[in-house]
Amino acid sequence: MKVERFVDADPVISCFYARKVLERVVSHIWVLRNLGDTQNRSLAEMTRDRAFTKCVDNKTMLRKMTLVRKSGNDAAHADDMEGKQAPTSPQRARKTAAHLYDLMAWAVRYHSANPQAAPGPQAAFDTNLLGQATADSSGIHVAGRSQAQTAAYLKKLAQQDEELKKNRLLLDEAKEAAREAEEKRLREAAQFELKRRSAELRAKADLADAQEEAEAEREAARQVKDELAAKIEALQEQLAEQQAAAAERAGVAAPSAAPLAISEAETRRQLIDPMLEAAGFSDDSITRELELHGMPNPSGVGYADYVLWDDDRTPLAVLEAKKSMESMSVGSVQVKRYADCIEREYGTRPVMLCSNGYHIDLIDDAANLPGSGVGYPAREVEGFPTAQQLRRMIGRRTMRALLSETPVDTEIAGGGARTYQLEAIRAVTETLERRRRRQALLVMATGTGKTRVAVATAKLLRQAGWVGKVLFLADRTALVNQAHKAFVSMYAESTPVNLIKNPEQVGDVYVTTYNTMMNLIGDDGDKPAKFGPFDFDLIIVDEAHRSVYNRFKRILEYFDAYVVGLTATPKSEIDHDTYALFEMEDKTPSFEYSLDEAVADGNLVPFKTARQDSLFLRRGMSYDELSPEEQLAWDTSDWGTDEDGGRLDPPGQISSAEINRYLFNKDTIRKVLKTVVENGIRVGGDQLGKTIIFARTQRHAELIKEVFDATFPEYSRTGASVITTHTKYAQSALDEFANPDGDVNIAISVDMLDTGVDVPEVVNLVFFKPIYSPTKFWQMVGRGTRLRPDLFGPGMDKTHFLIFDFCGNVDEFYKGEARDSATGRPRSLSEKLFDARVGLLAQLDKHSDAPDLRAELADSLHASTASVPLGHIMVRPGDKETLMRYRERSAWDDVNEEKAEQLRRHLAHLPLNTMKEPETAKRFDLVILKLQVGLLDHSPEFAALRQRVEGMANDLMAVSSTIPMVAERRSFLERALDPEWWKNVTVEDLETIRIGMRSLIQFVPKGKRNAVTLDIQDEMGELTIDDEMPVRLPGTGSYPSQAEQQLREVLQEHDNDLAMIKLRSARALNAEDVAALEAMVAQAGGGSVGFEESIDKLRERMGGDSIPAFIRRLVGLDEAAVQEQFADLLSNTSFSAAQIRFIKILVDVLVHNGGVAYEEIFQPPFDEEGSVVDIFHNKTDVIVDLRKRLERIEATAQAN
């Protein structure tokens, strides 16, 4: 009630209560569905648990839970978050209340003993009843309640929370108590029976028969255990039957029962035993039902389902088998107790495994991670490890070295000025070691050495004993070749293998594309997988972003490995799915080194933007606006043919989106090229520097080359080259372009040069197409950011590059306004067909219609499902249960909408045999399936779908006289064109038409739209080229006063004076140097009134107890000199990421401010990650050293 009453008067309280209600509902479902222990679990953990999400099996409800939870969290922390986020508004509270209503109605319907109490479909949420509260329970008028009063009220509510948790929602408490009492009685009876039978066996004990009787005792124990499990299961089934009966009386759907509930014994025999055999375990290396002593129960005895042994009878793993319907969390508690007993008896703690036959959890809580001594929580794996792999896991407990003390090979990464690479590597090691996480995501601008970081990280982790085999994944073959070359040149002892070129080679580092790896994992029925789930210990994902998400996600799910993702996409542009895959809910990557930072550090060069507008590229082309001559050319162009084979009429207008896709205009291309040639950066005098033109299509690229050769004949022989995936000898042309002394200076590409091309000489990029993905945009920008010393002559380095943007891309992406247009993976035609078929099956069952068609459809779906190999890589662990059930024909005998949804979710994406059928036939099947469903549920789409079938039949009639196959089936076409036939059509009639016409659809005439090339006068806007962006003066934080400006100008004039050089390089000054510096200040004043007073104020603001110290605060210190002063600390490979960042900040402040007092390092900006004492807690000698260095630098601003 309070959720609804307070939505307007106090939305904070309303959202807070909503979260509390949600927490009670979720806890209730955990208890009701026996999902495990809820103690010490937060609401977020409970709702994200795999067992819970599987039980709920409703994405909409899970999303609503997340929204209600976050609203409540924000409300609870409203006081702490003041000014950091928008306040909880009445609108948000109203939406939260509506979501909670939906959740409550759903929970009553599917997770209670009284589903009839759920509101019916007519009981819509009434917003008019909301917001009727005026005062809370304390009597305070809520509209006038202060923030402090709200905080106090929330605290009071929190104190009452424990009491609230004791109440149960929805369950009949009497039945629940009775059920628990009966279970307890059965357990006690079973324990008594076990002791009685054991006593009888011991009484009969004889030395000669001891072994036989011990086995009999174990068998008796198994029988008691099975009897107990059967009785408890019967109680749970009784509860389910009561719910189902109540649901039937209420006329609602019964609660969703856990699928395929088979016993633990069946789970072992049917599912687990074959998987253990596949992992190489035989009866000699497995003990089933091993008796263990010291269990925390009255008898002190327990029986581990499986114990897996090494050759020397060292326990490698203990495996707990649960019923297929049971939550993994139930077994994880039990298996840990077994592991405790085994460790006490054998001295080795085994790896723990828990499986219900479909899902497998692995727990290695004794991993003994250096630095913490703890292990990892449970994680899902796809299969059982072999004895060798288990042996390796146990061995690493004592063989792992501290990552923080394992040095980075600075010959590979982090050497010289590129200390940010050290920081990136340390961010990975700290994520794995200190934070106990298994995924890290590095965001590094293109050109900053992501591959070097990957190689150095792999080497460090292997040397520290954390990993053995490494897999490097990339999107393209060119990137694979580059990465393989990098590993060979920098880490040859790892024996790098290029799986594309040498699939049978063996090594320690494997490099390949996503698609190649997908073909090497999983068992498709014809050949076993080349790599198993435990074959790699570290996976490095190059360019981990959304466009390849659906490919690498399945690979990462399959392998049990650490994962390091690399991407150049700025963190603000990374999509939610990628962050979720790397388990980064706060959307903060492990490390980021942006383009701006790289430019500021001198590791990359910035770009300037040359913008020019084109009338046609911006607005498109209109026939009415053309001259008579241009209209004639438009009219006489071949625009293509229609479906009847006739000539297409010329369009009245071409949109800007169609330019350079369907219509190419030579004049636009000519003017764009002139702009580039005349204004591009040149090298060697008159020669245009290396230039990449990004075209829209292959035809566009070819036409650019053609127009370029005609417009600039002096370059036509070798100046420009088309380099695309369709170009013959593309690699040879690319090598010529990459050659600094080569003749090819202009590369015209569509997408081949977007990434993976390292040509430092590139100084011009031409964006001649719209870009829709931020990932692609930043990859393209990266083609020009590389440093190139001496490009324009000795000592004349590349300082920037130009982006010629004719399509508004820079304005869109650099401002951060654009987002990746890619959405989730598009559903294939075969998936849509499967969806439609199970939908029709559900409708036929609902209407009890067409039994013969229903049987044929069920047979077809069963055959498709049975054709999928269980070991195929696309069969996820969560799919196996459904797949195995529906491989049985009987499972298809009853399909309702709920089951249909489950089938769509778990089976539609699998490689069904429909994938091999002709596309034209499958598209027609889909139309007919939609018609059949539309006929049954009276869909308004039926009429439009009927017209499509009639149109195809009419088209086929037109060609029936010339195509014998069509002529033979004219009767089907005539039927589809008969209005009387449609009046009484049935689903069986539509099926007859489908069978009769599907093979003919390939003959339906298709229209063809041609690409047209014209040469029409375009209008180009004014060319504007960005100047350097204005920056604030270092150290001041503001723009200068007139006196300050005068002084800076004078100091700039004396920049090369010996005194200034010594001052800025932190070298000792003598009396003459000090006098020279003081003279500069006097010169700046020039006797002007008020100058001295202004300078005094400036000195007071900036610091500096002497004139030299004050001047250095203005001009800063030379960066190279400061880098030299701190070179040993910056290259210290044992420093943590936070320690490296601290030293880098200190260097930056010294360079900009000219000095730092020791006291200042305890203040901002140095305390962002804690005080200097906290950051160097394990290296206090460094703090003392820093003080000495700062004092030494400060002393150089005084006269000696």
Segments making up each domain of the chain, as ranges? 2-171, 172-256, 438-443+453-599, 610-620+655-754+781-814, 829-1009, 1042-1195
> Contact, 368 vs 400, CB < 8 A?
yes
831 closest CA partner among 896, 903, 888, 772? 903
Question: pLDDT of 567-599, one tens digit each?
Answer: 888 766 666 667 777 777 667 888 999 888 898
Q: Is the model more confident about 554 or about 121?
A: 554
**Which residues does 642 contact at the CB level (< 8 Å), separation at least 6?**
648, 1007
Please tell me the distance from the alpha carbon of residue 762 to that of residue 692, in angstroms, as a whole number.
Answer: 7
Helix (H) / strand (E) containing 377: strand 376-381
Please tell me the distance from the alpha carbon of residue 578 to that of residue 205, in angstroms, as a whole number.
Answer: 64
**Neighbouring-strand partners of residue 308:** 286, 317
Note whether 438-443+453-599 and 610-620+655-754+781-814 share their fold.
yes
Q: Quick check: helix, strand or coil at residue 292?
A: strand
**Residue 808's pLDDT band (boundaries 50, 70, 90)?**
confident
**Which residues does 153 contact at the CB level (< 8 Å), separation at least 6?**
13, 136, 138, 140, 145
**Residue 22's pLDDT band (boundaries 50, 70, 90)?**
very high
- CB-CB neighbours of 212 under 10 Å: 10
Q: Is the model more confident about 1142 or about 574?
A: 1142
Work out the angle at residue 236's Cα, subtended by the Cα atoms of residues 233 and 237, and round it to the nearest 5 degrees: 85
Give the model's pLDDT for residue 841: 93
**Residue 146's pLDDT band (boundaries 50, 70, 90)?**
low
Give the model's pLDDT for residue 266: 60
Is the per-residue pLDDT at 600 higher than 60?
Answer: yes
Question: pLDDT of 470-481, one tens digit each?
Answer: 999 998 888 899
Is the per-residue pLDDT at 208 higher than 50?
Answer: no
Give the model's pLDDT for residue 976: 94
Give the model's pLDDT for residue 886: 94
815 closest CA partner among 827, 802, 805? 805
Among 79-93, 274-288, 569-583, 1148-1162, the range of highest mean pLDDT = 274-288
> Contact, 433 vs 374, CB < 8 A?
no
The fraction of the chain above a pLDDT of 90, given in percent, is: 34
**Which residues does 1015 contact at the CB level (< 8 Å), separation at least 6?**
633, 665, 666, 667
Q: Quick check: helix, strand or coil at residue 868?
A: coil
Query: In the predicted model, what is the mean pLDDT of residues 994-1007?
Result: 88
Q: Is the model more confident about 869 or about 166?
A: 869
Query: In the predicted model, what is the mean pLDDT of residues 193-199?
Result: 57
Is the per-residue pLDDT at 696 higher than 80?
Answer: yes
Is the per-residue pLDDT at 641 higher than 80?
Answer: no
Lowest-pLDDT choice from 33-47, 395-409, 935-949: 33-47
Give the model's pLDDT for residue 74: 80
> Contact, 752 vs 730, CB < 8 A?
yes
Angstrom distances, CA of residue 295 to CA of 336, 533, 951, 1162 = 11, 33, 75, 53
Lowest-pLDDT choice from 123-137, 233-247, 403-417: 233-247
Give the model's pLDDT for residue 731: 81
Instruction: Pick one of 3.40.50, 1.10.10, 2.60.40, 1.10.260 as the CATH number of 610-620+655-754+781-814.
Output: 3.40.50
Query: In the predicted model, what is the mean pLDDT of residues 929-957?
Result: 91
Burial class of residue 51 (count of CB atoms within 10 Å of its CB; 0-12, 13-18, 19+): buried
**Neighbouring-strand partners of residue 5:** none
Give the model's pLDDT for residue 315: 96
Burial class of residue 307 (count of CB atoms within 10 Å of its CB; 0-12, 13-18, 19+): buried
**Which residues does 375 contact at the CB level (< 8 Å), separation at least 6?**
363, 364, 365, 366, 367, 368, 369
Please give the distance of CA 787 from its chain centroid, rounded to a whole number: 31
Give the model's pLDDT for residue 662: 84
The full DSSP string for 93-110 is HHHHHHHHHHHHHHHHHH
Write out 1096-1111 in H/E/C secondary structure.
HHHHHHHCCCCHHHHH
Q: Is the model more confident about 255 or about 320?
A: 320
CATH 3.40.50.9100 fits 438-443+453-599, yes or no: no
Q: Is the model more confident about 87 or about 56?
A: 56
Burial class of residue 34 (count of CB atoms within 10 Å of its CB; 0-12, 13-18, 19+): middle
Give the model's pLDDT for residue 234: 58
**Residue 215's pLDDT band (boundaries 50, 70, 90)?**
low
Please give the distance of CA 485 from its chain centroid, rounded to a whole number: 28
Structure tokens at 605: 């060069």
Please tell me the distance from the alpha carbon of residue 245 to that of residue 762, in angstroms, as a whole number.
Answer: 74
Is the per-residue pLDDT at 197 higher than 50?
Answer: yes
Q: Please tell me what DSSP assigns to residue 647.
A: B
Give the model's pLDDT for residue 113: 73
1000 closest CA partner among 976, 1034, 1047, 968? 968
Average pLDDT in the chain: 81
Please tell me the distance from the alpha carbon of residue 199 to that of residue 664, in angstroms, as a whole number.
Answer: 94
Helices 851-866 and 877-886 pack at an angle, to 10 degrees, of 130
Q: Quick check: helix, strand or coil at residue 231?
A: helix
**Residue 339's pLDDT band (boundaries 50, 70, 90)?**
very high
> How many CA atoms does the CB half-sphere of 937 hold within 13 Å?
17
Question: pLDDT of 515-551, one tens digit each?
Answer: 899 989 977 667 788 999 999 999 999 877 655 666 6
End-to-end CA distance of the chain: 80
Query: In the predicted model, what is the mean pLDDT of residues 718-723?
Result: 83
Q: Is the model more confident about 877 or about 573?
A: 877
**Residue 241's pLDDT band (boundaries 50, 70, 90)?**
low
Quickly list H helices, 78-209.
90-110, 147-159, 161-165, 173-203
Q: Please tell me what DSSP assigns to residue 648.
A: P
Lowest-pLDDT choice from 316-325, 435-444, 498-507, 847-856: 316-325
Question: pLDDT of 732-744, one tens digit each?
Answer: 888 889 898 888 8
Give the model's pLDDT for residue 915: 63
> Contact, 1070 vs 1200, CB < 8 A?
yes
Pairing of strands 746-749, 720-722: parallel
**Which residues does 1035 contact at the CB level (< 8 Å), separation at least 6?**
1102, 1113, 1114, 1116, 1152, 1153, 1154
Query: In the predicted model, what is the mean pLDDT of residues 440-454?
Result: 93
**Neighbouring-strand partners of residue 141:** 135
Give the model's pLDDT for residue 821: 45
Place of tokens 């202009």: 746
Give the model's pLDDT for residue 7: 84
Query: In the predicted model, what is the mean pLDDT of residues 621-636?
Result: 89
The full DSSP string for 446-512 is TTS-HHHHHHHHHHHHHHTTS-S-EEEEESSHHHHHHHHHHHHHH-GGG-EEETTT-TT---SEEEE
Buried b (16+ CB within 10 A) or exposed e, 703-718: bbbebbeebbeebeee
Please tell me the distance from the alpha carbon of residue 1155 to that of residue 1190, in angstroms, as a whole number.
Answer: 8
Q: Please tell me what DSSP assigns to residue 593.
A: E
Q: Is the model more confident about 547 or about 993?
A: 993
Place of tokens 């380099």: 723
Place of tokens 């247009």: 821
Angstrom distances, CA of residue 667 to CA of 329, 1035, 1198 = 69, 51, 67
Q: Quick check: helix, strand or coil at residue 818?
A: coil
Q: Quick check: helix, strand or coil at residue 604?
A: coil
Helices 1042-1053 and 1091-1102 pack at an angle, to 10 degrees, of 80
Burial class of residue 47 (count of CB atoms within 10 Å of its CB; 0-12, 13-18, 19+): buried
Angstrom distances, CA of residue 894 to CA of 244, 592, 867 = 17, 53, 21
Query: In the predicted model, what is the mean pLDDT of residues 1098-1107?
Result: 66
Is the per-residue pLDDT at 5 higher than 50?
Answer: yes
Is the per-residue pLDDT at 297 higher than 60?
Answer: yes
Please tell me the distance from the alpha carbon of residue 4 to that of residue 255, in angstroms, as a whole number.
Answer: 27
Please tell me whether the peptide bond between 1165 and the residue prior to it is cis, using omega within 30 degrees of 0.
Answer: yes
Query: In the predicted model, what is the mean pLDDT of residues 311-333?
Result: 79
Work out the angle at residue 239's Cα, subtended by the Cα atoms of residues 234 and 245, and round it to the nearest 5 degrees: 120
Give the model's pLDDT for residue 811: 82
pTM of the model: 0.71
Query: In the predicted model, what is the mean pLDDT of residues 865-890?
Result: 89
**Residue 656's pLDDT band (boundaries 50, 70, 90)?**
confident
Q: What are residue 351's phi and psi, to 5 degrees?
A: -70, 140
The fraction of the chain above a pLDDT of 70, given in percent, is: 79
Give the model's pLDDT for residue 743: 81
Work out the angle at residue 827's Cα, subtended by the Cα atoms of residues 852 and 553, and round it to the nearest 5 degrees: 125
Q: Quick check: helix, strand or coil at residue 695?
A: coil
**Residue 1035's pLDDT band (boundaries 50, 70, 90)?**
very low
